[in-house]
A and B are shown apart, each in its own frame.
Chain A
Amino acid sequence: MIEFYHVSKQYVKNQFALNDINLSIEKGEFIFLTGSSGAGKTTLLKLIFKEQHPTKGQILIDSVNINLIPNKKLYKLRRSIGIVFQDFKLLSKRTIHENVAIPLIIRGERKSTLDKQVHSALSLVGLTHRRNYIPEHVSGGEQQRVAIARAIVGNPKIIIADEPTGNLDTELSIEILKIFERINSNGITMIIATHDKNLIKIFPKRVIRLEKGRLISDWSKEELL
């Protein structure tokens, strides 16, 4: 479970990237985080995996106040979260297999275990046939799927994806979302930032809308009204 209590973030004084956010996400939920560009979606995601720190407020993950996690223990939090970055952040000189394997390599996983897990992650996104390519030599949609495979390979509790369909046409976007649904069906919490309104219509999920750093609507709340 992820909880935000009065969370604000200011990169610059008097400018709120996030303003007094209160939020609760249950384990296994599938959430769209939406809002126009500059609304604060990326910032909110970065707060969850502690790449940024809130100016005010507390964030709890499974009842642990992540503000209080020391730098030395940060890796534990990061290992429990799979992140799909907007710009993929793949290692350009490593093969797709190696890229997907990174979260396991850093844990010192044995090669046999590693190969098995990488293979199943690549199967999930339908990319086993591309495992020996380097990222440059595959399409944007395929790079996106490599990033997803890398996020899932370490068995995280939460997956965060920032504009995962940003550069893709509708057909490919739907395919990616279907992969996310499949991952979600295993009980993994999904938080997906997107400004694509069509997608939100096609996949009826809980939608959290940000505007100028404020949380202006929450699907579950809307339903209550």
Chain B
Amino acid sequence: MNLLKNAIINATKNILRNKLINLLCLGIISFTLLIYGIFTYISTNLNIITKEFSKSIEAIFYFKDNVDIQEIEHLLEKIRQNLLVEHVTFNSKKQAEINFSQQFPELKYILSEFNESPFPSSMEIRFKPEYDLDTKINSILDEIEKMNIIDSKQINLEWAKKIMTIKKFITIVGLFLSSILLFVSIFIIYNVIKLNILYRKDEIHILKLVGATNWYIKFPFIIEGALLGLFGSIMAGIILYGLLKLFPSYANFIFNLIKGVITVEVIPASLFIRLIILGTGIGLFSSLFSTQHFLKN
């Protein structure tokens, strides 16, 4: 208990003694974790959005004007019988008009200028969630689209796919940057601890001669590394939080389209905890490495 207390006191003293070097150290650790945090944040959110989009495939087909209702009924029946389809709903022109005026009551007056509903009739097909776009669904969608009663289509999964591509790109860039910075951090902490060991060489020698164990001597340096990592990660977390608070539109720019549909957390607690574990881990690892090297016996 006393030994642990002494080690922590010694480590703190060390950090306070070499303020400049330790500040540099803190800076690089928190910068590393900040970059990692930003990229993780973006990619996690993109993931959430894609998931939301691709829970199941939904396709909307708009019918041309003046299509015979018999033909539509026939098509709906055929689609309904398809095993891949969960359900299909028909939206008449009238229904579309009602939906619009319910969603945007303040724009209702516009509708009064039309004799007939300006919206096309449409059908919405929801496929069973176990299928994705690459299977037979694609051919079904293509087949329907080619029919001469169909005007245009809209598929949710195309969006999801685009976002997924962006997400992959961002993840790769993030991992690349983070790993370079990770090595820089480890290198710097390793050397800061080395400097501290050299700085205290005489003291270490005396401690050994009066019977200190190797662990007694190593411990403050290891704690020092861990504390640097811990403070660095807390700093990174605070800065990340601040960035997302200060520039909410910046952080949400990608997600504007679906705002309200999906709740995007400002900074998830799990990310904060991950930063702290990662930071402390980096510090611990680097200082352990350094003491193994420079405090052999």
Interface residues of A (CB under 8 A from B): 49, 51, 71-72, 74-79, 83, 85, 89, 91, 102-103, 105-111, 150, 154
Interface residues of B (CB under 8 A from A): 1-3, 6, 202-203, 205-214, 216, 297
A109 touches B203 (CB 8 A): no
Across-interface contacts of B202 in A (CB, < 8 A): 89
A89 touches B209 (CB 8 A): yes
B206 touches A103 (CB 8 A): no
Across-interface contacts of A110 in B (CB, < 8 A): 2
B297 touches A89 (CB 8 A): no
Between-chain CB contacts (< 8 Å), 27 pairs: A49-B209, A71-B214, A71-B297, A72-B213, A75-B208, A75-B211, A75-B212, A77-B211, A78-B210, A78-B211, A79-B210, A85-B209, A89-B205, A89-B206, A102-B207, A102-B210, A103-B210, A105-B2, A106-B207, A106-B210, A106-B211, A106-B213, A108-B2, A108-B3, A109-B2, A111-B2, A154-B210
**How would you classify the secondary structure of chain B's contact residues: helix, strand, loop or mixed?**
helix
Across-interface contacts of A76 in B (CB, < 8 A): 211
Decide: A83 near B3, CB < 8 A? Known: A71-B297, A72-B214, A91-B203. no
Across-interface contacts of B214 in A (CB, < 8 A): 71-72, 75
A78 touches B206 (CB 8 A): no
- Selected contact of A108 from candidates B1, B210, B297, CB within 8 Å: B1
- How far, in angstroms, from A150 to B207 measured CA to CA in the complex? 12
B211 touches A79 (CB 8 A): yes
B206 touches A91 (CB 8 A): yes
Query: A159 CB to closest chain B CB, in angstroms?
Result: 12
Across-interface contacts of A105 in B (CB, < 8 A): 2, 6
Q: Of all chain A residues, which has the CB nearest B216?
A: A106
Query: B7 CB to closest chain A CB, in angstroms?
Result: 10
Across-interface contacts of B208 in A (CB, < 8 A): 74-75, 78
Across-interface contacts of B213 in A (CB, < 8 A): 72, 75, 106
Across-interface contacts of A109 in B (CB, < 8 A): 2
Query: B144 CB to closest chain A CB, in angstroms?
Result: 76
Query: B237 CB to closest chain A CB, in angstroms?
Result: 35
Across-interface contacts of A89 in B (CB, < 8 A): 202, 205-206, 209
Across-interface contacts of A49 in B (CB, < 8 A): 209
Q: Of all chain A residues, which has the CB nearest B5?
A: A108
Across-interface contacts of A77 in B (CB, < 8 A): 211
- How far, in angstroms, from A63 to B125 measured CA to CA in the complex? 91
B211 touches A103 (CB 8 A): yes
The interface centre, meaning the residue of B1, B203, B205, B210 with most chain A CB atoms within 10 A of its CB, is B210
Query: B262 CB to closest chain A CB, in angstroms?
Result: 55
Query: A149 CB to closest chain B CB, in angstroms?
Result: 12
Decide: A106 near B1, CB < 8 A? Known: A89-B206, A91-B203. no
Query: B109 CB to closest chain A CB, in angstroms?
Result: 83
Query: B55 CB to closest chain A CB, in angstroms?
Result: 59
Across-interface contacts of A72 in B (CB, < 8 A): 213-214
The interface centre, meaning the residue of B2, B3, B6, B216 with most chain A CB atoms within 10 A of its CB, is B2
Query: B60 CB to closest chain A CB, in angstroms?
Result: 73
Query: A43 CB to closest chain B CB, in angstroms?
Result: 16
- How far, in angstroms, from A106 to B203 measured CA to CA in the complex? 13
Across-interface contacts of A79 in B (CB, < 8 A): 210-211
What are the 5 tightest A-B residue pairs by CB atom distance, in nearest-first order? A79-B211, A78-B211, A106-B212, A108-B3, A108-B2
Across-interface contacts of B2 in A (CB, < 8 A): 105, 108-111
Query: A86 CB to closest chain B CB, in angstroms?
Result: 13
- How far, in angstroms, from A77 to B209 measured CA to CA in the complex? 10
Across-interface contacts of A102 in B (CB, < 8 A): 206-207, 210
Q: Of all chain B residues, which has the CB nearest A103?
A: B210
- How far, in angstroms, from A105 to B202 measured CA to CA in the complex? 17
- How far, in angstroms, from A156 to B212 measured CA to CA in the complex? 14
Across-interface contacts of B212 in A (CB, < 8 A): 75, 106
Q: Of all chain B residues, which has the CB nearest A79?
A: B211
- How far, in angstroms, from A108 to B3 measured CA to CA in the complex? 5
Q: Of all chain B residues, which has the CB nearest A153?
A: B210
- How far, in angstroms, from A105 to B211 measured CA to CA in the complex? 10
Across-interface contacts of A91 in B (CB, < 8 A): 203, 206
- How far, in angstroms, from A146 to B207 measured CA to CA in the complex? 16
A83 touches B207 (CB 8 A): no
Across-interface contacts of B297 in A (CB, < 8 A): 71, 74
